[in-house]
Structure 1
């Protein structure tokens, strides 16, 4: 199928099944919004084979090319389709199991991931180990045919609705003089058990999509370690790499819609008549165009530290747009819905440079992998 025919197929499917009530729901800072309808829509996507678009055919996917993946995410974003509550499972857990999981793990989990029958969350960050992930203290010990976990995770998105969590835990001491990341294991842990407590964290926006997760003698079976015990760091880093794939292009289509909407508000308030604000709006458009070009180049050429550069660019862009929105709102009256939306946007964007690997860590990756600087 040609790329153009594929684009038409995506558009026709979305026009058939996407309702006005679902458009624009969910997303960063609003993960609890319209959750049940969004989950139902994700399962309809699964029925159409769209959730596993990038998966190989042998694992139940469509084996789509990179260009087709980009097209799908562009059209999905342009249509205003809702944020998907299955994205952690289908874009992160699924590919991880394909690369590192046993055949038994693949048979157990991949069909449920593809059908969106089970939801997942990520158990990485801890109160004392966020960007410095190798310093985590959650521990797991093997006791016969099961792992027993104790510790705490934090900033765990969607833990309150997840069925499973992929947890990075220490299962052996790191060697003296060796890397601290040695001795960590990547475990698949069922969330619905007495040994796990989930506590929502209320954010500046008033929402609580993030959670603290406490493991108190929580258990999972011995065979649910991905990769070899003690070598979970390699698996965990692979999972993070899958997070920043073709979907980032769709994310940027959403950014363009945000910018267009802010320009409309600026016309309403009269902010476009201010030369300084008009220049900042223009610069935001230019920077977003550069971001898209760099993202496409990074995806097609596999640039060193490409995902880190993209993370730096888009987080600063979004924070800048939030700050610009506050200045636009200050120039004149506008609809109350617009005020609420942009206030929420501004508040949540303060976290953009922290979650998903802080910008300081991304700069360190660029310094070592691209510039060859010492650690």
Structure 2
């Protein structure tokens, strides 16, 4: 068969067009994965047996970790101790506390690093009030937690959870912060289930969420705060740094320090890391970045955190087993500012799991930091 040049060129063009559309489609999809608000959980863990304070679970990477974990299912939650006894395809864990619901065989569940699933009073006996913080999209729910003893000279902590998480993410550190004498405001923000949705229904990777943190800072100032320490997990950590660079001068001057747990210091780097884990070719990665910027109306480069712009002390937690945010950025960030950044590194936990690996060490580091800045 003789193949004409026209057919060859036509076939090449068709293949190129198909490749372009395939690359664009994949990029569009992955951008949606990053920006989309999806709170469904993969209930991949099976509860196989319950015997007193022991629960037998299906084995996976997380259920075998000898760290404190939360076991969550649609109707309930339990806290698991560090004990993990592996037996073939199963693992036996010790139950520290049944927080909610009926723990029984046959449940489909997931494990979570947020080991507390109730509220400050139920978890730790800390009095609190749920207060509305007026943001640009409406009222944002927040827990206002006064310290059980004397307040430390009007200094407040404001805690901001990560993407797809909730206020429960801050519960692990609340006893430490309250014990240091700080009033704590644990905020919800746009796209939380009990907060206003963003107009386009997307997360914006801190590019708009920082404004909700700014609203919380105004709330604290208007209610007597004379100093503020920001606490942020994952995207909340990146948003805290973004807020520092964009706040009005008077509000920025209130901030005495930041505590960051597995913070996103570069979304560009996060996308590269996730693309590498998924073996995505470079054109799809590039396409995903461009569609993220276009669909989210943001600049990824504009969300890169420059250590040279840091103006307050920072306590930075990372875990070297983090499979969401590579830790090399955090190490470089800390190395660039040894005058301001204290880095605490743990191993074998995961993203936002430094507390779970070493609760006492985590609390000690936070206490030392607060004694210095507050």
With structure 2 as the length reference, what TM-score do the two structures score? 0.28
Bigger Rg over Cα: 2
Instruction: Name the structure where strand makes up a greater proportion of residues.
Output: 2
With structure 1 as the length reference, what TM-score do the two structures score? 0.28
Instruction: Name the structure where helix makes up a greater proportion of residues.
Output: 1
